[in-house]
Structure 1
Amino acid sequence: MMKSLSEWGYCRLGVAVPELRVADVAFNLAQLRRVVDQAEAADCSLLLCPELALTGYSCGDLFFQPLLIEQTRRAVAELAADTRGRGLTLVVGAPIRQDDRLYNCAVILGQGRILGIVPKIHLPNSHEFYEQRWFASARESRCDHLDWNGEAVPFGADLLFRAVNRPECLIGIELCEDLWVADPPSGAMAVQGATVLLNPSASPETLGKEGYRRELVRSQSARCIAAYAYASAGPGESSTDLVFSGHSLIAENGLLLAETERFRFDSQLVLADVDLARLRTERARSSSLAMGAIGPRYREIPFHLAELAAGTLCRPLDATPFVPADDAERAARCREIFALQTTALAKRLRHTGVARVVLGISGGLDSTLALLVAVKAFDRLGLDREGIVTLTMPGFGTTARTRGNAERLAELLGVGLRVIPIDGAVRGHFADIGHPETLHDITYENAQARERTQILMDVANQVGGLVLGTGDLSELALGWCTYNADHMSMYGVNAGVPKTLVRYLVAWCAECEFGDEAAAILKDICATPVSPELLPPTAEGEIAQKTEDQVGPYVLHDFFLYHLVRRHDPPAKIYFLACQAFAEEFSPATILRWLRVFYRRFFSQQFKRSCLPDGPKIGSVALSPRGDWRMPSDASVELWLRELDGLDGET
């Protein structure tokens, strides 16, 4: 828990938009120094500033003035000297002369010196842009070093910068238009190993460009499986013909981590902790990136990246990674998931030629969602809803609330319903195996679950139908299903949906797909505690057996599942992230307790996942043995538990 954020794989990346005066190098230098001080105080390791930040992008023919270029050179030297004794590495845009050519460059500064200079490759020269009037392309350079007061500074578009103390941090730099072309240099840099891509830019604002720019940066970070920072010139640039907004962004593998406010004249700084360890893991999983076209060979320049101390994580951290916080986004996701589920089931019915399905309904969330999926799939195929044969099978733990909701919902939806109590059959089975009914152990519970599955399978044979599985992704992760009972079906429509999302899906169906009394019942089902109802209810007839009391909160388990399977984070890092995400809800000791339970169950219950029925993949986390998750059923959990044991004294 006391590890530094760097040890967890994070690098604090910043983008700054300093206040600017066109052609006033001294003023711009002072503003840059202020923002560098702010970034260092915030433990920023790597700071990106806009294109031509020392002069302003919109100087026009003033770029031909030797005085402007010489003053910029002196300012670069002063900024380089400022980095001596600092941990921060700075990237700033400046016009740099080499021999008889002027280049639009990104200068990377650290450890008191100029580490390298990267000139721009693609110079726009149409519409509002006239860069070829003043600057030469990197392709025109005849030297790979630039003489800087007797020191040979690496120069060229073929430079990558490797952190010697953090080898997973390899920085590639492209400038503004380089990103907007058909084949951005950052793609080749990523193929060569660059994990952090920086773009000092001066992107003027026109109607609709904000959204396009955001998607361009976000999608390039995803395409390259990299962090991508984009720092754009602010409104201090000349407004003679254009308006600049300072819209700057930080993205990581498709996720937007931070962005600045547009049209602010004062300096802005935004920070984000990019997860280099995550990027490394994602690249190891991707065969496509490594197969990318081999581009130019790059020179690697070593530098030292500042370590990031322990503290609060500076990046969005979803406590519910499967459930968007935004209402509109969540509704859109529910609509998409429901479409995926119904299409999957419709395809299976079309393929088999079967016009009947059989499923057990309990009045709980999972079976309700499976029923709703079946109804919509039948409607899409033009099949009679009577072909949906629902069975409610009350047992020793069934409450009036859940049974009533199940039966009334089936009636309102116009599906077939059978009520088959299992008490007598289970008592006979107890007598056969010599098990006392008063012993409420695992045998007592599982006998009921297996009796229900036997009935479902036999009724399916009777009517010539398919048994629909109702178990969800979270239950499969924990093995919270009875082997050869609710674990088994002929098609599992919920197998890709995590528990934290099931409730929202049913609620969305109540709002958007089903109305009136059916919606009211669906809302009550959402308010019902999650329970298998295998133990007798309380004296008041209420549910006595609550799943989360036994196995732990699903909101924690879904968080653990996402970070284990999707992110491949180690146990201690998952614990650290959970403590950050749930600081107001659970104590560290509680989180650690349930994380141990999660790992033990996840490993020990793999045998159930190794023989899963067919079911559709829904999101980026899936546990099908035929695709996404292949794990030996007898793999040892000890390595993971030992790491958690080392956290005992830190709770």
Structure 2
Amino acid sequence: MFAAVEETDLGKWYDSLLYPMLLLLLELSEYDTVRSTGNNKMGHLITVSTCSLNQWSLDFLGNRDRILESIKLAKQQNSTLRVGPELEITGYGCLDHFLETDTYLHSWEMYGSILANPETFGILLDIGMPVIHKNVRYNCRMISYDGKILLIRPKLWLANDGNYREMRFFTPWQRVKYVETHSLPTLIQRLFGQKTVRFGDAVIEAMDTVIGAETCEELFTPQSPHIAMALDGVEIFTNSSGSHHELRKLHTRMDLIQEATQKCGGVYLYSNQRGCDGDRLYYDGCAMIVMNGKVLAQGAQFAMDDVEVITATIDLDDIRSYRSLISHGLQSTNVEQSYERVSLDSKLSPSGFQFDPEIIPTKPQAIRYHTPEEEIALGPACWLWDYVRRCNGGGFFLPLSGGIDSCATAVIVHSMCRLVSEAAKKGNKQVINDARKIANVKDQDWEPVDPVDFANRIFHTAYLGTENSSSETRDRAAQLAQDIGSYHIGLNMDSLVSSVITVFEVATGKRPIFKIFGGSQVENLALQNIQARLRMVLSYLFAQLLPWCRDNQRGGLLVLGSANVDECLRGYLTKYDCSSADLNPIGGISKTDLKKFIRYAADQFDLPILIDFITATPTAELEPITADYVQSDEIDMGMSYDELSQYGQLRKISKCGPYSMFLKLYHEWTPRLTPRQIAEKVRGFFWFYAVNRHKMTTMTPSYHAENYSPDDNRFDLRPILISPRFELANQKIMEIVEMSERREQGKSVEDLTVD
């Protein structure tokens, strides 16, 4: 046969028959190797993408469009795998809406429209949504390819502490490596002809690699699923999260993501939600791609972009080489039960085993972290922006007192305006359109490129002074307002205060006076509180009418509060005063961190007036100022802000009651303080904490930033009515104090005798 072939035709015959056959045999060999062992040594370059999306609870159409945009961007970067955030179709923070059947119906409708879109073909999709399986609600990952659902993977471990109540809405899938059949909704069956899909803890096996999914909380558990998956041959791990921002928290998350592949090898694609999902939390994005413990790509932690896609090209051969340790091999062979593998008859590597000089592996990079001061400047600012643009607000109103707390709130709004300006300069159409809507600008050529000009359109401040206010605070407030561009007014409200007191005098025949002039503590407190509460009433009046005064008929402003987390913890605020607002961007931030933020902003934002706020004595200015007396916050509270911060961390994070807190501080604060002094401080804190617990039930929704926040409505669930005496605990504390004092007296006698 071969003799009959002319020598000149041999090359053509080879090209037309043998060479293609050889390629086919090699591909089949490669396919069989992966199917049987999951460890093909051909070496493949795969481009993968993960993303951060600014999803919004129950915004089904908007959420779908952002998902489609992320898929489009991933495909433009030649990715063959796209991973999205947790519950991205519904938005993560739906809370009790997850108990409604409409939520599941609309989720399937949106998911079906995504699968039916031709632009979503040619890429493996990992999308998050809730699913009802056998009448049980699950938080799931939907894995699909070319319009076919390959696997529904339910979440194994639910977030159920702190800010999270997932077990209120969902049930964890407690059967590890167990899979069963799920009947798809009629809608999906009609669209795609697919009736069933595998449901459970399984993995996807493509022709050239194996992919496994875990969800958010599972990364933080001691026995994370990626460990078992790695030992069973999974090479690519996806993690879809709804992880919120908290000061200094990112380091913990990043360490866990790196560790996930540093020990086991593999590629880890972390996706996270970004933005205000409709509540107190801000999800801080920072999507990541890590391979073998090294970061290949990292997204922004805070940004105005609704859709951000990051991409990396990885070499599967690097994973297989990394796993060549004897210990990995021995532990892999001891796996008692393997994951069910759902087949994907396609490759993620576009070039197969062939070398393509145009596909270049991504090089490792260092992780980028923000300082706490930068986090305060960026996180609450992005949260405020999402809130005002989505609630159809016309901007913000802030009572600007001249103190550091309202100053910090104003500077955060200034930071928001700067971020909007930067995004507009980069051509972000969504930000530009939102800014025009909020500022009620009809000129389609106007863009918010000047943060001071933009602030003047949407930010309103007022100094609501009384005869107890100082000229220093009035001047500081006016100067800051001028520097950041807010529309500012100054007001003396003495006549209003006097009128209310006169009404009381007419009704009762008695007129209260301040303690410094001979009045009682009861009178003194009432006179302070009426000033604070009248400021709240005036704030809402001005918030509704100031835009109208400026010929802006669009509507009212969001009133901003400015009570910090330490004052909330101690209850050092008037119920229904200026702390009662629509939003409070600093309600979860400590006074110590706020001072550091102001120092940072003075330099970074070129606002030298901020130095005057830092050096001023914190004061409420609710009592008369005399030659011998100026009201001081820390003296009024009977404790410093630094001490309050420590109390808060021990109470919430270390879960201390009065007795255990005293024991911890006994060792930390002695000999600087005596045991009796420590006891008095601890007992004083718990007394005021208990008697003021009722105030937390009415606190303004605050940006969650501190892990010892006393936010009653979500993060810190404790009774309203608590006995402030803590009799048993205080009895035990005093026993230790007396024992310590007896021991100290005994030592003194011995020392005296020896001398």
- TM-score range, shorter-chain basis? 0.3 to 0.5
Structure 2 length-normalised TM? 0.39
Structure 1 length-normalised TM? 0.45
User: Which structure shows the bigger proportion of residues in helix conformation?
Assistant: 2
